[in-house]
């Protein structure tokens, strides 16, 4: 009888989830999964899909650095609200990033104000621009990030912190931000 009680206690103990004290904190090189909601001017502009947390490697270029810094030390189950001014997010709006481009260098499709165009630099970097104004033979394109000049508010819940898969730290993805549909400029 004593053995049966001991076995039941051991099995119960082994089935308990790890306590918060045993959870790993977010630190450089750790694989992190978070649920997040991004709001701008009080409106939700992006959020992680239900049941599909965003995963990144702490210290990589996959997430806004200031947001990563704010999450250091948090553990699975922790929640935090983070406010980032433009300087710590996507920068201030730069007037020199608005350029007039001949329509002959743009896609043949019908251009509309607000449309987002994408192109690739010779180095392979994808560059996006928003059509700000249409003229007879040209278009004014804004190469600022869509969230430049905006204060960002994140509500974050840490889902998991662990060791990254081999090579995961080297795989850098674009920051998690809303992206408008794109059209590709034609090659010149």
Cα 92-93-96 angle, rounded to 5 deg: 125
For residue 178, the model assigns a pLDDT of 40
How much of the chain, in percent, has pLDDT values that exceed 70? 77
pTM greater than the 0.85 cutoff: no
How many angstroms separate the CA atoms of 156 and 71, rounded? Answer: 9
Please report the DSSP string for 78-125 in residue order.
-EEEEEE-GGGTT----GGGEEEEEGGGS-SSPP-TT-EEEEE-TTS-
CATH architecture label of 95-142: Beta Barrel (2.40)
Q: What is the pLDDT of residues 98-139, one digit of tens each?
A: 999 999 999 888 999 999 999 889 999 999 999 999 999 999
Q: Is the dihedral of CA 88, 93, 94, 99 positive or negative?
A: positive
Task: Give the number of other Cβ atoms within 10 Å of residue 40's Cβ.
Answer: 16
Tell me, what's the pLDDT at 185? 44
CA distances from 109 to 118, 142, 146, 186, 188 (A): 13, 18, 22, 10, 15
- The CA angle 187-178-45, to the nearest 5 degrees, is 150
Q: CB of 62 within 8 A of CB of 52?
A: no
Q: What is the mean pLDDT of residues 24-36?
A: 96
Return the higher-pLDDT residue of 129 and 3.
Answer: 129
What per-residue confidence (pLDDT) applies to 61? 87
pLDDT digits (tens, 9 = 90+) for 65-106: 999 999 999 999 999 999 999 999 999 999 999 999 999 999
State both tokens at 102. 């001949």
Report the C-alpha gap between 80 and 161 in whole angstroms. Answer: 15
Reference 78, options 119, 34, 27; nearest CA is 34
């Amino acid at each position: 009888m004593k053995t049966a009680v001991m076995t039941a206690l051991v099995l119960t103990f082994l089935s308990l989830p790890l306590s918060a004290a045993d959870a790993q904190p977010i630190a450089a090189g750790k694989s992190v999964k978070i649920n997040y909601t991004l709001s701008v001017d009080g409106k939700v502009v992006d959020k992680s899909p239900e049941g599909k947390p965003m995963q990144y490697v702490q210290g990589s270029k996959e997430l806004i650095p200031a947001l990563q810094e704010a999450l250091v030390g948090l553990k699975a189950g922790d929640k935090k609200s983070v406010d980032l001014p433009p300087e710590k997010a996507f920068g201030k709006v730069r007037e020199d990033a608005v350029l007039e481009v001949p329509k002959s260098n743009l896609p043949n499709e019908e251009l509309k104000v607000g449309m987002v165009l994408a192109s690739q630099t010779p180095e392979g970097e994808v560059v996006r621009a928003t059509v700000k104004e249409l003229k007879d033979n040209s278009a004014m394109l804004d190469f600022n990030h869509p969230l430049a000049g905006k204060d960002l508010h994140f509500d974050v819940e840490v889902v998991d912190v662990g060791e990254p898969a081999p090579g995961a730290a080297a795989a850098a993805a674009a920051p998690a931000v809303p992206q408008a549909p794109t059209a590709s400029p034609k090659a010149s």
